[in-house]
Structure 1
Amino acid sequence: MVGLTEDQVTDLKLQDSQADIAVPSGGFQMRADPLGRRNGRAPKDNMVQVLTKARDEAAAIVAKDQARAGVPLTERLVAEALSILRGATMIVYPMGLPPYDPVRMELENREDLSGTQASLQVMDPGLAQLWFSGKEMLRGKTLADYIGKNEKTKVVVKLQKKGQGAPGREPLMTEEEQKKLMAAEFRRQEELKTKT
Structure 2
Amino acid sequence: MVVLHVKSAAPASASSSSSSPAQDGDEDTELLYECAASAAVADVAAALGALAGLQAALLSLCRRLRARCAGAGDAATGELERALDEAEAYASKEQVLRNRFLSPRALREHIRNIEKKCATALQEPPEALSLQESSSGNKHERIQIWWAGKELAMDQKLSDYIGVNDKTKIVVRLTQARDEC
TM-score where L is the length of structure 1: 0.46
User: Highest Rg: 1 or 2?
Assistant: 1
Could you say which structure has the greater relative contact order, defined with CA pairs below 8 angstroms and 6 or more residues apart? 2
